[in-house]
Amino acid sequence: MEGGLPDVDAVLGPGSPLSERMTGYEHREGQLVMARAVYEAFTRDRHLFVEAGTGTGKTLAYLVPAVLSGRTVIVATATHALQEQIFTKDLPLVREVLAAHGVTFQAALMKGLSNYLCKRRASERFGSAEVMTSDLVRIERWARETETGERSELEGLAENANGWRDVMSGTDTRVGAGCKYHDECFVTTMRREAASAQIIVVNHHLFFADLALRTGKNGGYASALPPYDAVVFDEAHQIEGVATDFFGVRVSTSRVDSLVRDTRRAIVSAKLLDSASMRLVDDVESASQAFFRSWQGAGRAASARSGPSSVRGGAGDEGKRILASADWSAARLDALGRLDMALEALYAFALGNDRDDAMGIVARRASELLSDLQRVRSSAGPERHWEDDDPTAGALVRAGGGHAGGVAWVDARDRNVSLGASPVDLGPLLREKLFERIPSVVCTSATLATATSAGPSFHFARGRLGAPPDVGELVVPSPFAFEERAALYVPDDLPEPTDPRYEHACAARIAELAEITDGGCFVLCTSNRAMRAIHAALAQRFHGAYDPRPPAPLLCQGEAPKHVLLERFRASGRALLVATMSFWEGVDVPGHALRLVVLDKIPFAVPSDPVVAARSARIEAEGGNPFTEYAVPTAAITLKQGFGRLIRTRSDGGIVALLDRRAVRRGYGRSLLASLPPAQRLETLEDVRGFWQSL
């Protein structure tokens, strides 16, 4: 005890009061070791990296010391679902336990602006002469009653509902203190509650949106979060990807369409409607359509030239490629010039009428679009990317796009075109803006370290995130008995993943494995194309093939919302769910319903992805090997996440199958497999049958 407060041992150690409040609670030594390290990091202003194996209980291991430290702590999670779990389940438990020691604290939940109704935008939309859709009628009725304005209350509203897009809050549309609805604003209320809280639960996206504001990404300085002393990143292996989005720029068809739509409503609301004002908006719309039309097909053409997206078995994004200087043809430059002129005219008009809140927002958004278009245009230059599947050849070919600080790209689809610029090396930026600015940063995940000959290492994660060399490090093994309850099957008799016969052979092997376990299977694919092909092959041969009972449900990502698919999967007990990367992590199906996890390929990042290509070129330019130093460690972390779907409780058991023979035939396979939990290794289907019978 210090100053009358309990220490973490009193709360989480043997004889913990948690045992009286949690059914089946067991003392976990690893949880206590982690909690001590986190408390020391908070109270001594140190940074800490912790890999906490599944079952450690890492959430309590950082929440309890966060409260006891007395510091204001941001807890940043990967998903809204984890946010809700921490705020509605874990924090109330911590509050109850600590109350017995006389410790009280306030906590707040903060979500991104798009999760909240904007009263100003809603008033403009509901009061306009436009047609009210069924979604908008429902939202209007709800808006009269809601106390939080939070979208999650609208159960059943489609994720991409146009009606919500018209009335939600957002960085682009928020006025701030000058808005007439400011005092009653749902976002204002949320921020007011957070300002008086000690523990503030956010997600990674909101945290980095705030960090981008604080560091003046667009030339201004502001904040979305209240002041804080420390931050915990849960699922910290996702930080680089999220930060890349927020410190880059994206200009898209939908972004300009949104500006046009909101400008028309703002002009009506400000009583500025006349032929001249409408002509300004029409000019932006027509110039935008011409500009983006000039890029239609650009992504697909590049993909066709560079070969299949699954060169190394990665998660493909067939429409996205590096943007080269040569891509800026005379026609595209002319279209860009016309769009610039239209946006400048709109900016000048809106700025001249910015006494109206909505018009002031239009001016800011037009200015930001102009700035972002210029950044994309100036980011084109020479860069490099992988060309073939030979990891020892180090083959890199010249391509377009990027400079020392960022890489430009184009993503051209049928309905939407995006151009953007992304940072290549976030390490220096995060070191300066995150680790050197915040007294204590704790990064934790079940998959943060990678295997080396000397044991688990944080070298890769530290380097990617720019952590200082003196950051603390801790690996807490899982308390689960993987050697007894889990097996890893890696066959050596399937075709190479690049072989045209692979996916049909893969589907046949999945059916054989599902026969052994009677379903209960996740099939996790590394690309949408592979998911569709394997699902189609299974649909042809699977139903009724191995059991006289009614066929097990065959589910596929995309045919229903994610939570609905998971409910169907759990309820069946025998289902097969074919999915892609969004099911590799953050999905929790404990118990017998999930007993077989099939991974189609080693999840290498697609070498032709613009950011991957630019980062690889940077490593090579510095004398390194991009495959061994970037591709393999990244794949190891993703592979470990996929494996982690299987064992969620002590009583769980089953089989993980990696249907990629490169894991046993290539030299890099040893380090990939060494990063996985210590499960039994199986080589044949007979081995699988024997292990399953033993379970």
| pLDDT tens digits along 234-267 | 999 999 999 999 899 999 999 999 999 999 989 9
CA distances to 31, 173, 578 from 536, rounded to whole Å, are: 44, 43, 10
Q: Is the pLDDT of residue 15 over 70?
A: yes
- Between 74 and 558, the more confident residue is 74
The pLDDT value recorded for residue 543 is 54
Q: pLDDT band at 441, cuts 50/70/90? A: very high
Instruction: Report pLDDT for 311.
Output: 32
Averaged over 522-537, what is the pLDDT? Answer: 94
Residues 6+ apart with CB under 8 A from 282: none
Higher pLDDT, 321 or 344: 344
- Mean pLDDT for the chain overall: 87
Is the pLDDT higher at 218 or at 458?
458
pLDDT in tens, 477-499: 999 999 999 999 999 999 999 99
pLDDT at 301 exceeding the cut of 60: no
Domains 29-113+181-247+426-479 and 482-694 share a fold: yes
- Supply the pLDDT for residue 69: 97
Give me the pLDDT at residue 651, please. Answer: 92
What pLDDT was estimated at residue 129?
A: 65
Superfamily (CATH H level) for 482-694: P-loop containing nucleotide triphosphate hydrolases (3.40.50.300)
CATH number of 29-113+181-247+426-479: 3.40.50.300
State residue 389's pLDDT score: 37
β-pairing, 472-476 vs 48-52, is: parallel
Place of tokens 């450690």: 56
295: its two tokens: 């890029």
Sign, CA torsion 637/643/648/649: negative
Whether residue 600 is predicted with pLDDT greater than 50 in this model: the reply is: yes
**With helix as H, strand as E and coil as C, how does 69-83 read?**
HCCCEEEEECCHHHH
Asked if residue 655 has pLDDT above 90, the reply is yes
pLDDT digits (tens, 9 = 90+) for 329-338: 999 999 999 9
653 by DSSP, 3-state: which? coil
Mean pLDDT computed over 151-165: 82
Percent above pLDDT 70 for the chain? 89
CA distances 335 to 289, 298, 411, 645, Å, are 9, 15, 18, 48
Q: What is the mean pLDDT of residues 55-59?
A: 93
Average pLDDT over residues 198-212: 94
Residue, of 203 and 305, whose pLDDT is higher: 203
Return the closest-CA partner of residue 507 out of 551, 553, 538: 538
**pLDDT per position as a tens digit, 397-436:** 223 333 347 899 999 876 789 999 999 999 999 999 999 9
Yes or no: is domain 249-423 CATH 1.10.275?
A: yes
Q: Is the pLDDT of residue 216 over 60?
A: no
- Provide the pairing of β-strand 576-579 with 554-556: parallel
- Domains of the chain, by residue range, sit at 29-113+181-247+426-479, 249-423, 482-694
Closest Cα to residue 79, out of 588, 477, 596, 488?
Answer: 588
Model pLDDT for residues 19-45, shown as the tens digit of each residue: 677 766 778 899 999 999 999 999 999
Residue with tokens 């308390």: 479
Which segments within 315-405 are labelled E, that is strand?
320-322, 382-386, 396-400
